[in-house]
Amino acid sequence: MKNKKIRLLIFHPALAPYRIDLFNELNELYELKVVFFQKNLANQSFNQGELTSQLNCKYGYLTSGVKLGSRYLRFGILREIKSYKPDVVISMEYSLSSIFISFLRIFSKWGFIVWTADNARISEQTKGLRKVARRLVMKAADGLIVYSKNVKTWYSQFGVANQNIAVCSNLPDERIFTSKLNNTSDFILAHRRKFNLENDKLLLYVGRLSPEKGLDLLLKVFQGVCNVKHDLKLVLVGGGPQEFELKELAKKLNVEEKVLFVGRYEGEELLAWYKMSLCFVLLSRFEPYGAVVNEALLSGTPVVCSKYAGASELINNGENGYVVKPQNLKEVKNAIYNILETTDFKTTKNSLMPISFQNSIESLHQLISMVSTESKMF
């Protein structure tokens, strides 16, 4: 007789492109349902129709609730749990909803796992009500999902057993990603023609145009770099509240002709930008993780990454990029120079990612299986 699949219920903020492969793979392993708390991300609007068309698991939405300060408690969580009868429940972050689920866990037989995007630096600096919330949720949780080994080490120091922590980075399935990347030739041609980039080499940034991303620092660094590398242009993919300010800064620095604000792109049109570029730069002042670093590395594009981004753990200095302090403009400039000097513009690009999608799946599978088994003992 075939073993009955574990019933897994995930409460998640909103669907993002980097979650699709993960949810689809989990759906192969378990009876999965994902309940989204938002129709779209608060800071980025993705084409949700396109994203959900790629999703193979059951899913639903809980979008109404009560707001306490800047946090929401969604209505309908208990109803979803009673209806789905899960073996394991996963909730994101130390939110009001996670606190409520922690309370329900006391009276239930299902296992509870909390999933956090915090990097080690954010975890160390957590204080006040958020620290209290973390303590409450962790007391009830049977397991923890984190994005990196550094965060796992941090939690281990405070008594969480290693076997109760899964490391799951924001990775897409490399096979699917590579297949999409191989379909970008027409988009690369279109981008080059549209923006007159036939003979230019590109630095790339992808994400929101907002103060925490350190784009003012990037423009200042680029001013110095392009004075030496005359065939270099900076491409900023995305939109956000700082766009006008950044355009004015580019004018002030006399680099407006070499900085392209190309707007938002998704799917293979976005992947084309990664494939076209010699170097990806992320100089965030604050960044829990930075999924764009994953996309750049999988595309074979070296990364200059802020030390404050959780994804900096993926960078091996001199091999697939450099980790820098974003405020140290000389250090950033030297890192970009090093990449430009050692990257062959004409060479076929291979993945620079040091970990695999399967690593994340195996780590998650071990934790979910363990929690499901242990939860039945109470």
C-beta separation of 246 from 215 below 8 A: yes
| pLDDT value, residue 375 | 58
CA dist 10 and 61 (Å) reads: 11
| pLDDT value, residue 377 | 34
Question: Which among 90, 103, 101, 80 is positioned nearest to 22, based on CA atoms?
Answer: 90
Q: Domains in the chain and their CATH numbers?
A: 7-171+357-375 (3.40.50.2000), 174-342 (3.40.50.2000)
φ/ψ (deg, to 5) at 8: -115, 125
Q: What is the pTM of this model?
A: 0.91
The DSSP call for residue 173 is P
Helix and strand totals (H; E) in the chain: 15, 15
Secondary structure class of 36 (helix, strand, coil):
strand
| pLDDT value, residue 346 | 53
Per-residue pLDDT of the chain (378 residues; tens, 9 = 90+): 456 899 999 999 999 999 999 999 999 999 999 999 999 988 788 999 999 999 999 999 999 999 877 678 999 999 999 999 999 999 999 999 999 999 999 999 999 999 998 887 777 778 788 888 899 999 999 999 999 999 999 999 888 999 999 999 889 999 999 999 999 999 999 999 999 998 899 999 999 999 999 999 999 999 999 999 999 999 999 999 999 999 999 999 999 999 999 999 999 999 999 999 999 999 999 999 999 999 999 999 999 999 999 999 999 999 999 999 999 999 999 999 999 998 765 556 899 999 999 999 999 999 999 999 875 433
